[in-house]
Structure 1
Amino acid sequence: MITALPIVDNQLSNHFTKAHHFVFVDDNGALICSAPNPSLGAGCSGKKHLVDMLLANHADRVVVKNIGAKMLSRLFESKIEVLMTDKGRRSNLQGLLEDPNVTRLVDLSRARTSINFDRKQFEGGCCEQHGHENALENSCCQSLDSLSRQRKNHHRYCKK
Structure 2
Amino acid sequence: MIYAVPSQNFHVGNHFSRSPQIVIMDDRQQVRHIIPWNESDNSCNKKNRWMAIIGTYHVKAVVVRHIGKKMLGHLFDKEVKVFASPAKALITALDLKNLPEIRDTEYGRESRNNHRCGSKRGPTSVLSTTSTLSRSQPHKLGVIKRVYQ
- TM-score scaled by length of structure 1: 0.66
Code of the residue aligned with 1:61 in structure 2: it is A
Query: Which runs of 4 or more aligned residues in structure 1 lie more than 3 Å from their structure 2 counterparts after TM superposition?
Result: 37-40, 141-145
2:108 is the counterpart of 1:111 = yes
The structure carrying a bigger helix percent of its residues is 1
Which residue does the alignment assign to 1:66? 66
Q: How many residues align?
A: 125
Code of the residue aligned with 1:109 in structure 2: it is E
Give distance in 2, aligned partners of 1:115 and 1:143.
Answer: 10
Q: Which has the larger radius of gyration?
A: 2
Q: CA distance change for structure 1 residues 19 and 7 in 2, over 3 Å: closer, same or farther?
A: same
By how many angstroms is 1:109 displaced? 1.3
**Identity score, percent:** 25
Q: CA distance change for structure 1 residues 62 and 42 in 2, over 3 Å: closer, same or farther?
A: same
User: Where does structure 2 lack aligned partners over 5 or more consecutive residues?
Assistant: 126-149
Give distance in 1, aligned partners of 2:111 and 2:25.
Answer: 29
Code of the residue aligned with 2:12 in structure 1: it is L
Instruction: Give a deviation string over 1:48-69, Cα, whole Å, max 9, x none.
Output: 2211112211111010000000
Which residue does the alignment assign to 2:20? 20
By how many angstroms is 1:96 displaced? 2.7
Which aligned pairs between 1:22-37 and structure 2 lie closer than 5 A? Answer: 22-37=22-37
Code of the residue aligned with 2:119 in structure 1: it is Q
Which aligned pairs between 1:46-61 and structure 2 lie closer than 5 A? Answer: 46-61=46-61
